[in-house]
Chains A and B, each alone.
Chain A
Amino acid sequence: MKPNGNPVDEVTGTETTGHSWDGIEELNNPLPRWWLYLFYATIVWALVYWVLYPSWPLLTRGTAGLLGWSSRADVEAEITRVSATRAELDDRLAGLSFEEINADPALADYAQRSGASAFKIACVQCHGSDAQGSQKFGYANLSDDDWLWGGTLDDIYFTITHGIRNEQDPDARFSEMPAYGALEMLTRAEIRDVANTVRSLSGLEHDEAAAERGRETFEIQCAACHGMEGEGSQDLGAPALDDAIWLYGSDLEQIIAQISNPRMGVMPPWGQFFSEADRKKLAIYVHNLGGGQ
């Protein structure tokens, strides 16, 4: 009754392993056969896996495995698959007008989401991740209701495609404000007066007398582009001066600086970098930021 020389448990008549923990002894019961077979099966499985899949570590790299599987190839295949799906949608986007795209909610949703990621790639460097632009550098805020060159889908699409004041695209939106100070077209005093006139147009605090003096200069020099009441012109990209939104700031000094030696932003022609579908996506995304007209 002691095949291995270990004590035999009286109750079960089974030999123990000879181990004892706090007086508790371990019976040396045999494994069930099915359990043993499962154990053998896992060994066979491991061997097969070793041969079929990359698993043997060598000095510099591992074995490739008979199946030639790799996670890199999986990712590649997945990317190809996704691109193929998107290619279909992009073809449809390119062929449809904005009205037709918006009539298809699923397609519009795709354009909106896809446009959001394109925006993060190409636009946030200037316009910011929140599309709020920068008053310091004169990058336009894209989510408000004030548009320099128009806020309809087609206007936005045109701006994205050709850019603004760049030299790469002959169709780029173009306008230039004269440097009234640097070219000595106006005196310093006249410029200060006109600046007060501009502030008066949007109801900002101003010197009444100066504004009155600058009114005539404004009508002669500025109204052609910015309008008699400073309402601006989207055809010329002339900012409205009668509202609360200021590209380069509304302080008197900032306005004087802008009249004396104006800064004018440049935007690249994205038509040379993005496909038609991508530009449509961007236009739809920007239009949906909340200020689209």
Chain B
Amino acid sequence: MSVALIGSRIASNVRTQVAGAAGAAGPRSTERGLCGAASAVTASVADPVPGDATHPSGVRQYPDQAVNKGKKPKLYKGREPIYPRRVHGRFRTLKWVIMALSLTIYYATPWIRFDRGPYAPDQAVLVDLANRRFYFLWIEIWPQEFFYVAGLLIMAGIGLFLVTSAVGRAWCGYACPQTVWTDLFIWIERLVIGDRNARIKLDQSPFSARKARLKITVHAIWLVIAVATGGAWIFYFADAPTLLGQFVRGQAPATAYVTVAVLTFTTYTLGGLMREQVCTYMCPWPRIQAAMMDEKSLTVTYNDWRGEPRSRHAKRMEREGKAVGDCIDCNACVAVCPTGIDIRDGQQLPCITCALCIDACDDVMTKIGKPRGLISYTTLQDFAANTARAAAEGMEAAKASQVLPGWREVMRPRVFVYFVLWSAIGIAMVIAVLARDRLDLSVAHDRNPRFVQLSDGSVRNGYTVKIMNMEPEPREFDFGLEGLPGGLMWSPNIVEEPARRFAVPVGPDQVREFRVFVKADPMDLAGDTVPFTFRTFDIGGREKTATETVFDTPERD
């Protein structure tokens, strides 16, 4: 239906909009596609709009063409610059708050100190790759406990399912780093150059000193932010103040510089230059998300049953006795969209449900004295119900019932299943962390040889023992053998004299590996292979552990 064509912006500074309207308000099918609003309807607007025009009602018009309008296919297509306009409203405020929070957490976390005593680093969150330790507040993760991190990743995955099934692509619209940094970069543009119109004007103006100055300023600030982004990342992997000093003096490891360089490049390119292209072409999540959503998930929706037929000349049309919808076709929703789409065309892949169009439209509706919510968060189920009602009983009936979806609608079994799964893993991890041992003993019995005959008739077996002291303080452990009659043991470098037990000091947060030789007289033993136990306990502490192993002797006739 939409037959709008647009001339190349670069070729001619004057954008001509030739909109031939075919059946402005034809019957709309609600069955087609995921969303009934997919059937785009363009009002007949014959007059070209050279710049911002003003609606008879006093509302400014934002001439713009959405990127998702049909065009003649080419082999490839350059990025069409998108100049999101400034917007005020509750969702914009929410986005600012989330941006401030997430950026603060990201940049500040490595600088939080946490006292773990003299033998452990005092950084609250530290991924110590060199020593293979991960510190998170009072929790210290060893490599063999990495399943906690795997658990966190699983929780993040299920959490994403949970959020998506409940409130749609909230992650994309508010918390995704791509969204946050793009938003930040757009804000920088607005601070330096100005809002949408100023940016369009600057891009279309010929080269000048002012243009160069503004552009360089914007890109310089972007680069500074990009460097800071990469810079903050490396502080998670080393003591932040030390590393900062080394980094500035040029003494940091090459990895640090490479990491900063790579993250600077990606932040600058993805956040500054590619922006919505990342969401549209690169990100896999929009492709997967459809599986998480159903008719009861919240999505940003243009309520076309109320808005259509849209008209920029509503009063004239009304005077002429023609039916008009609430949409005055001011294009504000398109102008503010960071991915440059027209939400009135229905649900589509590039929509990150950031709801800035809702803010923009609510603003306009308030100004022209109509109820808010022409674009709103709603579920497909509500949308269909409202559409049916509008068709059967008239638009007013639908309008009366047009409310935000209730929590019952969102909190459906699917969401509960995700929530139960998510919290079960969380609770299991908390219990596991609280109950885990900070002392571990592992024993490997020599296989080659299994035993050695000694000159006095006794038999010697060799073992490799590891005692792990997972506390950040030195501890002394009593290491002994139990259940082997007449068995004695010694260990080179620790105890030369055979004994039943000896003390093993282990440094803070360290593994001590040592060889243990055990000898016993086969005559004292019942059988060729005798099970016995190595046990160890923390002298002066309460932790103890034991490992069962075997003592081998030659086969007897």
Contact = CB atoms under 8 A, between A and B. Distances in A.
30 contacts: A3-B73, A9-B70, A10-B1, A11-B39, A11-B345, A12-B68, A12-B345, A14-B71, A14-B73, A29-B77, A30-B76, A31-B75, A32-B77, A33-B76, A33-B79, A34-B274, A34-B277, A129-B448, A131-B449, A132-B452, A141-B452, A143-B452, A144-B453, A145-B455, A243-B455, A244-B454, A244-B457, A245-B454, A290-B452, A290-B460
B452 A13 contact: no
Interface string A239-258: 01001110000000000000
Contacts of A131: 449
Given A11-B32, A14-B70, A32 B452 contact: no
Interface of A: 1, 3-4, 8-15, 28-36, 129-132, 141, 143-146, 240, 243-245, 288, 290-291
Given A13-B69, A145-B454, A245-B455, A32 B79 contact: yes
Contacts of B77: 29-33
A19 to B, nearest CB: 14
Nearest to A9: B70
Contact of B452 (A15, A33, A144): A144
Given A34-B277, A290-B517, A243 B456 contact: yes
Contacts, number: 92
B279 interface: no
Given A11-B345, A144-B455, A290-B460, A30 B75 contact: yes
A29 B73 CA distance: 6
Contact-residue bracket for chain B: 35 or more
A143 B451 CA distance: 10
Contacts of B39: 10-11
A132 B449 contact: yes
A4 B74 CA distance: 11
B357 interface: no
B491 to A, nearest CB: 11
A12 B39 CA distance: 9
A28 B72 CA distance: 10
Interface string B454-476: 11110010100000000000000
A15 B70 CA distance: 9
Given A11-B38, A290-B462, A130 B76 contact: no
A143 B519 CA distance: 13
Nearest to B38: A11
Contacts of A32: 76-77, 79, 277, 281
A239 to B, nearest CB: 10
Nearest to B447: A130
Contact of A141 (B3, B71, B346, B453): B453
B78 interface: yes
Nearest to B281: A32
Nearest to A16: B73
B381 interface: no
B7 interface: no
Contact of A11 (B71, B75, B346, B492): B346
B2 interface: yes
B40 interface: yes
A243 B345 CA distance: 97
Interface in B431-452: 448-449, 452
